[in-house]
Chains A and B, each alone.
Chain A
Amino acid sequence: MEMLFTKYFEVGSMVLFGVGFMTLLLHNNLIKKIIGMNIMDTAVFLFFIAKGYIDGREAPIVRGFHKGVEAYVNPVPAALMLTGIVIAVSVTAFALALTVKIYEKYGTIELDEIMKMRGD
């Protein structure tokens, strides 16, 4: 129980992950689904970055001289999440383009209305 208050980055990212997951699964509006997808991805990015952070150390940028490995936080999660952000953006762009197409063909972006229009 005490962990909930001390590890607030991880707790916050788990809450955000749940919010995004449920938004992605339960909403009928396609735009809201895409927003949920982005919230979910952002929660994973927050979790990863929080895992790379070490209290009391500085950003891994060498200015002047190298202070030794003990002085910097872990740079690997930041590099990974840079790639992750690029992937999330491209998936979002593709999903939005498909939503535009759906609106052109069906005239609505509510999934329950689209599912009713079978075979016309």
Chain B
Amino acid sequence: MYIRSFPLVAILILLVSAFVMPMIKKRSIVKGLSLVSMGISSILALITLVYVKENGSFIYRIGHWDAPWGIEFQIGIIEAMMGFLFTSVAALIIWYSIYSIHKEIKDNRVVFYYLLVNILIGALLGIVFSNDLFNSFVFMELSTLASCGIIVVKDKKENIKATLKYLVLSTLGSGLVLMGIAFLYSITGHLNMTFAHREIVKVYADYGQTVLITLGLFTVGLGVKSAMFPLHTWLPDAHSSAPSSSSALLSALVLKGFVLLLVKILYRVFGTEIINQFPILNLILISF
């Protein structure tokens, strides 16, 4: 029964250890703390994955509030797999960066680098596990700011330019996503994905155009953030000018979190019945 709270514990370990870091003077302890917290989170995610594989998906209520009022985590097989993948890949990248980071960034920024990495992975796990639209949005903004931070930490000219480009385009994307959430909330009255799906199936016949606009806003907004094909202009600058370990984190993990959120919104909120009536999958997958 305790296993059900492991996804939340994994996120909390990462966030709490991140905010302990600035109080520690010695850099080697900070590096060790980051690696150990990421390792513990990946072990917790692995246990969750084994549990989900045996017992099927489950819903965890945060603070024991029931669904339409409280925030839920829904952990199915894909979420558990992505959670284990994110934490274990991040642990390997941190292990590598312990030996190489001092060559690329200044000594007094190392602490903040590991702080930002922990916040970034915690926020990505939040996007993966959360079953609440606005909670996902908050985690999305958190991960965007943290990933901008691990690009700009190198403090070179091109670096700052690339980060500003990334920040401007991703605030554009998050504005569009927030507008999409506003439309969805105004036609369904729920922020919980399961409840929003239940309501939108009843009412979408009356709100055909609104559903189309909402789908467009979500697709373009998350498309900018996850650098899908026509909206990827910020990616080459940001990824090539970042320090090598941040570049590994950005291209391996950050974009996939947003892709998974788009998949969750398309299939869990709208459902196959609704998205098959619009050409949205043809546009994303380029299958005309």
Enumerate chain A interface residues (CB-CB to B < 8 A): 17, 20-21, 24-25, 30, 33, 37, 40-41, 44, 47-48, 51, 76-77, 80, 83-84, 87, 90-91, 94-95, 98-99, 101-102, 105-106, 114
Contact = CB atoms under 8 A, between A and B. Distances in A.
**Chain B contact residues, majority secondary structure:** helix
Given A94-B145, A105-B160, 13 more contacts: A17-B179, A24-B168, A44-B178, A44-B179, A51-B182, A80-B191, A90-B145, A91-B145, A91-B167, A95-B168, A95-B171, A98-B152, A106-B157
Contact of A83 (B134, B157, B171, B172): B134
Contacts of A98: 152, 160, 163-164, 167
Interface string B166-204: 011001100100110010011000010000000000000
A40 B182 CA distance: 13
A44 B157 contact: no
A44 B185 CA distance: 12
Given A17-B179, A44-B179, A91-B171, A101 B160 contact: yes
A21 B182 contact: no
B161 A41 contact: no
A21 B138 contact: no
Contacts of B182: 44, 47-48, 51
B148 interface: yes
B141 interface: yes
Contacts of A21: 172, 175
B101 to A, nearest CB: 21
8 contacts: A20-B175, A21-B175, A24-B168, A37-B172, A48-B182, A94-B145, A98-B160, A98-B167
A108 B190 CA distance: 46
B175 A102 contact: no
Nearest to B185: A51
Interface in B141-155: 141, 145, 148, 152, 155
A79 to B, nearest CB: 9
A77 B181 CA distance: 11
Contact of A30 (B145, B164, B171): B164
B185 A77 contact: yes
Contacts of A106: 157, 161
B167 A105 contact: no
A90 B171 CA distance: 11
Contacts of A101: 152, 155, 160
Interface in B105-139: 134, 138
Given A17-B179, A47-B179, A47-B182, A37 B168 contact: yes
A43 to B, nearest CB: 8
Contacts of B185: 48, 51, 77
A30 B24 CA distance: 36
A87 B167 contact: no
Contacts of A20: 175
